[in-house]
A and B are shown apart, each in its own frame.
Chain A
Amino acid sequence: MSIDKIRVQVTGIEQVAPLIREFQLKAVDAELMPFSPGSHVVVEMPDTPRPHRNAYSLLSDPRDGGCYRIAVRLQEHSRGGSRYMHEQVKVGDELWITPPANLFSPLWQASKHILIAGGVGITPFMSYLPELEREGAHYELHYLYRGKQTGAYREQLQQSLGERCFLYDADAGARCDLRELLSDQPRGSHAYICGPQSLIAGVQEVAAELGWPASYIHFEAFAAPQPGNPFEVELSRSGRTLKVAADTSLLEALEEADVPVTSLCRGGVCGQCLTPVVSGDIEHRDEFLTAAEREKGNCMMPCVSRAAGKRLVLDL
């Protein structure tokens, strides 16, 4: 069966670090599906004036289908999803989530797994650890955080992982020497990084200097459907004007207005929905058009692409 969204209820909220809250989610009408380590879900938040859709790693044991757990760090100056989660969401509330997707799974062939977490980036590794244990895999965890803000779960991790757990609290002056960390690892080790871009770049740089193959370095890249800004489209042939909301694709808006556009993949790869553009700047998000075609700016793939500005005129 195809499943688009799962309705969940928040059954528990816990402050797990000064700026991080954990949410426990249970399915309202069905069972939650099992998932693979490193999976994330996209949580929809019905905020006004515009809803948020944020991706969060699942941090529960993948074999435990009873409940999903996610952890949300309050982002400073956020008017977006993290503030909504921290300030609006209460135990008993219902939310919609997508089924789990995974773009960050462990490579079981690795001779050793080196997990490097920065702050709230500990979350995907929380689902790795039970599986690595079950597989009897060789691994170690390096956890960089600021004790005044993040550092969730560190006591429990230190207890259960013992000497395979390395903690670096920047607020206590502890630094992680990436060169030392990556030197002398056994052949066939893979490194996984989840954290700020600076940490990812730092590991990549040192690893490259030490001669690690780039394919042995993995980092989390969420492919959550990026909502965009709302915009208007004018249809030059009929003279109609449509509004495209932030969480709606242009293709969906055209379909809702009964404007026929053929589509197939709805993911920017098949080329079926190619639509001629008369004017307006386009934010191309597809994989179909070539750079040269984009340059011309006279066509777009409405299943994923949007207006870069406030208005587009389509030849429809």
Chain B
Amino acid sequence: MRMSPKPIQSFRDDFTYSNSPGAIARFPFPFPEDEYMYSVNIEPHVTPGPEGSVYEHLLDIDEHYLSEMHERDLVLKENPKRCLAMPHMDLACWDMIDRVMTCFAADYPEHFSLEREGDHWTWENKLLNIKDSFTFGDSSTLPMPPMEYIGRQVQGDFALLDQRDGDLFLDAGIVTCPADWSLAFDAGMSFKEWHGPVPLAHGMGVFDRALKYLCAISQGRPVRRLNWTLTINARMDTSPETYPQWGTDRASVTPDNVGEKVHLRVELQVLDRMSRSNALMFSIRTYLISMNDLVTNPEWAKRMHRVMKSLPPELIEYKGLTRYHPMLVEWLSRFDPAN
């Protein structure tokens, strides 16, 4: 089923965000087994993937497009530092503009179009009523810096990694819906530095192997992986910068409201090599689903219970679930016949 964007819903205050039955059906449920542990879960992102699935195109656009672009605007107005690009990343930002515009125009022609005559480009985004002409590569011909310009038109957070000497450096990005990490804090760090806080995985060699694989990604061969956590309320912006606004949400979970409060938050991460700069583009497309919606699929409900029940304590702690984890397992147990 093809998703068309619906009118703006909110990811804060009154939380009007909701998933249609179609969006629930295509939700990227991240657990292939009854137990979860970190691994190098990276695979080729071969497109076109199954029609209508979140894997169909390089970058997925769905019914939440307008809501997420509105939310991004709110966050950037509160804190412009959620978007940054070091000067040496200018070319990489233009690579990203090229990749996003070229793919959107080809994959979603009903919403986007791109005309190119040499370096003279004309871009139209019908969903946001944008039509601009600019000179490719010349940042002065855009209404705002290139990363912000393209970042405001594409769902999900983005980072551009500069590759130097077999390592990756977080030197540009637009991050307004992170799962508790900060672009401003991680800026300039190397792959293992910004992964510093993650428990267990370093010792398992996960990051050593992942880094080698990522450095070898070539043009035209993007890869993807899923990552997940839980979020209270349909809140997109769970960043350290705004912690005072959402940290206390965790205490609001009760046995009666688990179904509507607790959301599974899945990130579809796509890594794609940029042409001119050799940077890696890292896109983090976040999907939120309430437990109530999730348990409409009996297989997911059963598996969710088993995964939560067997989750290693280090992960419970790191993902910030400690407070309500027992309540969630108890609530989910009713959907697991083995119980």
Partners in one complex: yes
What is the interface of chain A, defined by CB distance below 8 A to chain B? 1-4, 33-36, 38-39, 62-63, 98-103, 105, 107-109, 215, 218, 223, 264-267, 269-271, 287-288
- Choose the segment among B215-223, B236-244, B285-293 that binds chain A (4+ C-beta atoms closer than 8 Å): B215-223
Specify which chain B residues have a CB less than 8 angstroms from the CB of A218 in the assembled complex. Answer: 165
Partner of A223 from B106, B216, B219 at Cβ < 8 Å: B216
Specify which chain B residues have a CB less than 8 angstroms from the CB of A269 in the assembled complex. Answer: 40, 42, 209-210, 212-213
List 9 additional A-B contacts (Cβ < 8 Å) besides A1-B47, A266-B43: A1-B103, A4-B221, A34-B276, A35-B219, A63-B276, A99-B219, A109-B88, A266-B44, A269-B209
Residue of A nearest to B164 (CB): A107
Residue of A nearest to B279 (CB): A36
Specify which chain A residues have a CB less than 8 angstroms from the CB of B45 in the assembled complex. Answer: 2
Specify which chain A residues have a CB less than 8 angstroms from the CB of B48 in the assembled complex. Answer: 1
Given known A105-B163, A267-B213, A270-B39, contact A2–B220 (CB-CB < 8 A): yes
Is A33's CB under 8 angstroms from B278's CB?
Answer: no
Partner of B277 from A3, A36, A287 at Cβ < 8 Å: A36
Does B58 sit at the interface, judged by CB under 8 A?
Answer: yes
User: Which secondary structure characterizes the binding site on chain B?
Assistant: loop
Is B278's CB under 8 angstroms from A39's CB?
Answer: yes
Partner of B219 from A63, A100, A103, A105 at Cβ < 8 Å: A100
Partner of B221 from A2, A105, A288 at Cβ < 8 Å: A2
What is the interface of chain B, defined by CB distance below 8 A to chain A? 39-48, 58, 88, 103, 106, 163-165, 208-210, 212-213, 215-216, 218-223, 273-278
Given known A2-B45, A2-B47, A108-B88, contact A265–B40 (CB-CB < 8 A): yes
Is B276's CB under 8 angstroms from A35's CB?
Answer: yes
Is B221's CB under 8 angstroms from A3's CB?
Answer: yes
Is A105's CB under 8 angstroms from B222's CB?
Answer: no
Partner of A105 from B41, B47, B275, B278 at Cβ < 8 Å: B278
Residue of B nearest to A40 (CB): B218
Is B40's CB under 8 angstroms from A271's CB?
Answer: yes
Specify which chain B residues have a CB less than 8 angstroms from the CB of A100 in the assembled complex. Answer: 218-219, 275
Specify which chain B residues have a CB less than 8 angstroms from the CB of A39 in the assembled complex. Answer: 278
A-B contact pairs, 24 of them (CB 8 A): A1-B48, A1-B58, A1-B103, A2-B47, A33-B219, A34-B275, A35-B276, A62-B276, A99-B221, A100-B219, A102-B218, A103-B215, A105-B163, A109-B164, A215-B165, A218-B165, A265-B43, A265-B213, A269-B40, A269-B213, A271-B40, A287-B212, A287-B213, A288-B209
Q: How far is the CA of A2 from the CA of B46 in the complex (A)?
A: 6
Specify which chain B residues have a CB less than 8 angstroms from the CB of A103 in the assembled complex. Answer: 215-216
Partner of A2 from B39, B88, B164, B222 at Cβ < 8 Å: B222
Q: How far is the CA of A102 from the CA of B40 in the complex (A)?
A: 23
Given known A2-B220, A4-B220, contact A270–B276 (CB-CB < 8 A): no
Residue of A nearest to B98 (CB): A34
Q: How far is the CA of A4 from the CA of B45 in the complex (A)?
A: 12
Q: How far is the CA of A219 from the CA of B220 in the complex (A)?
A: 24
Q: Would you give the shortest CB distance from A238 to chain B, in whole angstroms?
A: 26
User: Which secondary structure characterizes the binding site on chain A?
Assistant: loop
A-B contact count (CB 8 A): 94
Specify which chain B residues have a CB less than 8 angstroms from the CB of A4 in the assembled complex. Answer: 220-221
Given known A2-B221, A4-B221, A287-B209, contact A264–B42 (CB-CB < 8 A): yes
Specify which chain B residues have a CB less than 8 angstroms from the CB of A62 in the assembled complex. Answer: 276
Residue of B nearest to A42 (CB): B218
Q: How far is the CA of A271 from the CA of B37 in the complex (A)?
A: 14
Q: How far is the CA of A267 from the CA of B46 in the complex (A)?
A: 15
Residue of A nearest to B274 (CB): A36
Partner of B106 from A1, A266, A270 at Cβ < 8 Å: A1
Residue of A nearest to B213 (CB): A269
Question: Considering the complex of A and B, which 8 residue pairs feature the smallest CB-CB distances, nearest first?
Answer: A3-B220, A101-B218, A36-B278, A99-B220, A99-B219, A269-B209, A270-B40, A34-B275
Partner of A102 from B88, B209, B278 at Cβ < 8 Å: B278
Specify which chain A residues have a CB less than 8 angstroms from the CB of B209 in the assembled complex. Answer: 269-270, 287-288
Given known A2-B221, A3-B221, A267-B216, contact A35–B275 (CB-CB < 8 A): yes
Q: How far is the CA of A101 from the CA of B214 in the complex (A)?
A: 12
Partner of A36 from B58, B210, B213, B275 at Cβ < 8 Å: B275
Q: Would you give the shortest CB distance from B302 to chain A, in whole angstroms?
A: 22
Residue of B nearest to A217 (CB): B165
Q: Would you give the shortest CB distance from A25 to chain B, in whole angstroms?
A: 16
Residue of A nearest to B218 (CB): A101
Q: How far is the CA of A184 from the CA of B45 in the complex (A)?
A: 48
Q: How far is the CA of A266 from the CA of B43 in the complex (A)?
A: 7
Given known A2-B45, A109-B88, A287-B212, contact A98–B276 (CB-CB < 8 A): no
Is B103's CB under 8 angstroms from A99's CB?
Answer: no
Q: Would you give the shortest CB distance from B95 to chain A, in whole angstroms?
A: 8
Specify which chain B residues have a CB less than 8 angstroms from the CB of A98 in the assembled complex. Answer: 218
Specify which chain A residues have a CB less than 8 angstroms from the CB of B103 in the assembled complex. Answer: 1
Residue of A nearest to B275 (CB): A34
Is A33's CB under 8 angstroms from B165's CB?
Answer: no
Specify which chain B residues have a CB less than 8 angstroms from the CB of A109 in the assembled complex. Answer: 88, 164
Specify which chain A residues have a CB less than 8 angstroms from the CB of B44 in the assembled complex. Answer: 2, 265-266
Specify which chain B residues have a CB less than 8 angstroms from the CB of A265 in the assembled complex. Answer: 40, 42-44, 213, 223
